[in-house]
Chains A and B, each alone.
Chain A
Amino acid sequence: MTATAQQPPTNRRLIFRLVLAVFAMFGFGFALVPLYDVFCDITGLNGKTGVTDSRTVEATPIDKERWITVEFTGNAASGLPWEFRPTVAKMEVQPGALARATYIARNTSNRTVVGRAIPSVSPGEAAAHFNKTECFCFTEQYLDAGETKEMTVQFVVEPDIPHSVNTITLSYAFFNAEKYVKQKTVKATHKDAKLEKTHPDKKS
């Protein structure tokens, strides 16, 4: 800022403020990322679901009057050599009651592949009232060549879900996560993931 050196102080102060505003707005761009997540959590924008633990669920009363249809769907995105589908197409649940569904994944390639599942719930207003207590989407999933694995999701629909909602769709998109799991840690985490399978109730 040599140009500012000869300017009268009032220029310098104004320039300083404007430059500060520029940096603040650059930071604001990045701050929009967490802000957006918070906003999505509150509004259910984009079908982002919540997480809760089983104890909270036990404490919630079950709405015996209502039945809600939950549909399951899933797909493996391009770049992930897996077959992936739900074991049942849909089930009826009561708000407040814990429910459990499974998906089947099979690695069709001849090597170990790590995938990550991204959940999404529709309609948006249901997403904020749809909580998972346990899900294969919490961690990366490892499948050895040709391995088939059953994956579990345990969820609850909160009783305060708007009455306009009678069908909820839970969708998983499985992506290849090799890029995001550092090569060095692959083996170690792989072991952890296997261990976890023996403790299905343990939430990560």
Chain B
Amino acid sequence: MATEEAAHHDEHHAHPTGILRWITTTNHKDIGTLYLCFSLAMFMVGGLMALVIRTELFQPGLQVVDPHFFNQMTTMHALVMIFGAVMPGFVGFANWMLPMMIGAPDMALPRLNNWSFWILPFAFTMLLSSLLTAGGGPAAGWTLYAPLSIQGGMAVDMTIFAVHMMGVSSILGAINVIVTIFNMRAPGMTLMKLPLFVWTWLITAFLLIAVMPVLAGVVTMLLTDRHFDTAFFNPAGGGDPVMFQHIFWFFGHPEVYILILPAFGIISEIIPTFSRKPLFGYTTMVLATAGIAFLSFIVWAHHMFTVGMPLAGELFFMYSTMLIAVPTGVKVFNWVSTMWRGSLTFETPMLFAIAVVFLFTIGGFSGLMLAITPADFQYHDTYFVVAHFHYVLFSGSIMAMMGGAYYWLPKWTGHMYDEKLGKAHFWSNTIFFNITFFPQHFLGLAGMPRRIPDYALQFTEFNVISSIGAFGLGLSQLLFVYVVIKCVRGGDKASDEVWEQPRGLEWTVPSPAPYHTFETPPRVA
């Protein structure tokens, strides 16, 4: 959509039009658009599932769905949001922005790029259609803990294959990102001149390559345990269910940072522009990102303190997890210092960026509380954890993407988005987000476990508030879709710079960005 008007700028090749163009495209901007649209679609699907959950939880008692279907919804909501909305969303931003930020004509491996996108619709068709099988979709939670996942029906196998396909897609995307950044930079664009979004994506890509294969391995073992009588995790054959958790979280914790580091990158682009001031502490920002990535490999067992580890193990994982607060803190301090004594304006992208810094920090602090092992025994698997990861994933990753979308939409489409509607979206999104998730902290502390379809009466009030918030949050996103479509279809003409003297090569090309940019590499001073 975004590049439809831009297409006629292209005078080099004749390429197919209509649907075939999108199927065969190797252009990074087209593929970026595909990823972003896919991500938005999955965000809506996952959101609908969340609303099924919140509808059931609006009142105590079973009213709308049965517990088995409820478990399918919690499982699918997580899988769709993580692998369908957040990860492809960031790959979409990477496709659009990385080449333009480093002065490259395209991604290094354009055909691979096409494949890595087109795997996704098939993967998610398989995942979502598992809901239609006898016995319904996967219901063991997105973490697929054995031996519960060994009990499930064919849906679990379909989920495993879908996870394999998503993994292949992510790995191919990551290889492409690394090769592009290493080999396609414009002359003079040294590593320490890379925009921070490029840096965070480079580190994310390495994390993807390191852990997605481990996820593929662990679900493969699960598959053979289910059908080929191996006993990796099945205690009946001498396997160990706790080992599943160890291997899963060896993937799972770096995955958490895969979901947040590119968001840090987007925020680090937006804040300097609207502060009219360079990013504070660029070098420490890069080092902090690398530090977070390194630490992510040695903290996995903090997701499983209650399985009964030896004291030494619990202490090690507690200390290493607490250490993550240091580089994360540095990032927050640096963002605040970037704003300090700037000349601030509050367009929609900046509002999102400020909200991300503020709300993500709440999630960061609840994360620090969860790291304290003795206290974690109380929080573990309660709504406190649900509140925590929605503060980092929704008000971290997803709101950063929304901010990024408003920030770069004028560059993609050549039109300014509707600022009033954008702000309205921001406020209703942010307020309803807090109404939905803040009360869940209290629910968790009061003792409400996660993943339950019905609850005791003392949890009623906060659940009512949370459900009302969830519907407001869901409706707010319709406004977002409307603003985006409106911006694609028309609006005030955006200048090449769009904002006031923003830094970065992407602002030196015309708006909308032509189909091919930087065919002659720019010189970077």
Contacts and interface: CB of A to CB of B under 8 A. Distances in A.
Q: How large is the interface on A (under 10, 10 to 19, 20 to 34, 35 or more residues)?
A: 35 or more
B217 A30 contact: yes
B309 A124 contact: yes
Interface of A: 2-4, 7-8, 10-11, 14-15, 18-19, 21-23, 25-30, 32-33, 36, 40, 43-46, 77, 79, 116, 118, 122, 124-125, 173, 175-177, 179-180
Interface stretch (B175-183, B360-368, B460-468): B175-183
A186 to B, nearest CB: 14
B209 interface: yes
Given A10-B183, A179-B229, A36 B240 contact: yes
A94 to B, nearest CB: 25
Nearest to B310: A124
B235 A175 contact: yes
Contacts of A32: 214, 243, 246-247, 250
Interface of B: 108-112, 171, 174-175, 178-179, 182-183, 209-218, 221, 229, 231-232, 235-238, 240, 242-243, 246-247, 250, 308-313
A177 B179 contact: no
Given A4-B109, A25-B209, A26-B216, A11 B179 contact: yes
Nearest to A179: B229
Nearest to B211: A25
Contact of A116 (B179, B211, B237): B237
Contacts of A125: 310-311
Given A21-B209, A46-B242, A177-B237, A29 B171 contact: no
14 contacts: A7-B108, A14-B179, A15-B109, A18-B209, A22-B175, A22-B212, A22-B213, A25-B210, A29-B213, A30-B221, A36-B243, A118-B238, A125-B310, A180-B237
Contacts of B174: 18
Contact of B313 (A2, A28, A43): A43
Contacts of A46: 240, 242, 308
A25 B214 contact: yes
Contacts of A175: 235-237
B187 to A, nearest CB: 15
Nearest to B26: A3
A19 B179 CA distance: 12
A144 B473 CA distance: 62
A32 B242 CA distance: 13
A2 B242 CA distance: 41
A173 B235 contact: yes
Given A46-B240, A46-B242, A11 B247 contact: no
A179 B242 CA distance: 21
A32 B178 CA distance: 26
Contacts of A36: 240, 243, 246-247
